[in-house]
Structure 1
Amino acid sequence: MIYSLFTMDSVITLVFLLSGLLTPGYAIICTQCTSSLSSCTGYTANCASKLVCISIYESTRVGNTESFQFVRGCGYKSDCDQLGLFAIPNGKYRFSATCCNSDNCTPNPPSLPPVNNTSNNKQCPHCVSETSKDCNSNQMMACMGDETKCALQNSEVTIGSNTQKSSIRGCATKSFCKLGTQTAESGGVKRKIVTKCSACTALYSAITLLLTLTISMMTNVF
């Protein structure tokens, strides 16, 4: 299961792959590890039944700073061979996932989707909220390359009787929109992240684009 969520101060990427987060019924054995490089090695562990070995490579860029993470572990078949990109005015999140289905197998190296900074003449609203799961904004951003969807991603983290909600809107690729609804629970912490998408709208004019970019630079919202 793959999760991504930009916050006001940073980008948080949550990947729940360890078998301890999943239901019992052990089947396949997979390597479990994380690294800031494009590969990693680690210990092996039993996965829950019906899971496969998965490798996920992801990139998070905020401003001029870009970080990478590589994760191997247990995952769902529905997450295999997926890749996607999500963007806000001052940041981009990219991921790619590959799988294999035998004990101690090594998935093919995942390749991140390329960054295309050419406007596709489409636009989406953008906003971030740390208190609501449905932020709304009249501010628009220009979408680039294959970013043909407007995405809303909302998150709920529940500990006991307390639930923290957050949300973000921006431009996304069609493949990112396939994430849909993802849930995980561990150590009494429940997490639910829902990704919803709609079609982008055409840019109204060059003036609209100029105002959008100016507002983004002035507010530095991410």
Structure 2
Amino acid sequence: MKPLGLLLVLFSLTSTGFSISCKSCWHMQGFPCHGLSFPCSSDQVCVASYNLVTTVTSESPKYTLSCGSRSQCNLNGSLTFNHGKVRTGTSCCDIDNCTPPSPTLPPVSSQKNGLTCPACFSETSDYCYTSDKVECTGDEIKCGLMARRLSGTVTKNDSLRGCATRSYCEIFGNQTTTIQELNVDSKMFCSDGAVDLHVGLLGSIFAILLTKLLF
């Protein structure tokens, strides 16, 4: 093969990306977990996620492993609501059926940062609102509402509202994953706390519509 032809073939391979297979599983007692292997989409990697929900009376760990985007790799963050805190850490690897390193959770901070957010939790709805408030600490510099819809082996909606890190607003709270026939669709809506969250969302929608009408 001529050098030019070889170069074109290599360019074609690199531009279209490549795909690997990852195990898909979850475990409620920590890590690791074991599951069947599934092919990932192009350029995805194997992503391990460790979540720890802490309340006054309990701790609930959950470890998941599945295909995911590189933007989810090696991050951590937290979301604090009126009954507890959710901390998340991720890690990745990019070889067929590999096991990523153990994810690292963010430290718990008691240093208040001056932000106060509405806080609530619902096990039955993807929206919640109460008059409860929570004082934010550390890197939790956003007020956030996370809405989840689960379908497949389990069907339910739930929601959390409170103080959130940027990683929850931008990555952890906005994901769609499928793990062992369970589909989890999460959406995160965040504000800087200057106005109530739903007012801020309506304002953003109005601004987008006005821009389209004008231009």
Corresponding residue of 1:90: 83
Aligned: 1:46 with 2:35: no
Structure 1 residue 143: Cα displacement: 0.9
Q: Which amino acid in the other structure matches residue 80 of structure 2?
A: A
Mapping of residues 173-212 of structure 1, within 5 Å: 173-179=165-171, 180-183=173-176, 191-200=184-193
Write 1 or 2 for the structure with the bigger share of helix.
2
Structure 1 unaligned spans of 5+ = 1-25, 202-222
Q: Tell me the matched-pair count.
A: 173
Structure 2 unaligned spans of 5+ = 1-17, 195-215
- 1:20-64 CA-partner distances (Å, limit 9, x unpaired): xxxxxx941334444455532535513232221111111111223
Q: Name the larger-Rg structure.
A: 2
Structure 1 residue 104: Cα displacement: 3.1
Over the aligned positions, Cα root-mean-square deviation in angstroms equals 3.1
Q: Normalising by structure 1, report the TM-score.
A: 0.64
Structure 1 residue 147: Cα displacement: 1.1
Higher relative contact order (CA 8 A, sep 6+): 1
Structure 1 residue 145: Cα displacement: 1.4
Q: Normalising by structure 2, report the TM-score.
A: 0.66
SS of 2:166's partner is coil
Identity %: 34
Q: Which amino acid in the other structure matches residue 193 of structure 1?
A: S
* Equivalent-residue separation in structure 2 for 1:126 and 1:143 (angstroms): 11
The more displaced of 133-142 and 184-193 is 184-193
* Equivalent-residue separation in structure 2 for 1:32 and 1:151 (angstroms): 29
Mapping of residues 1-222 of structure 1, within 5 Å: 27-36=19-28, 39-40=31-32, 42-43=34-35, 45-50=37-42, 51-129=44-122, 132-157=125-150, 165-179=157-171, 180-183=173-176, 191-200=184-193
Write 1 or 2 for the structure with the bigger share of strand.
1
Structure 1 residue 186: Cα displacement: 8.6
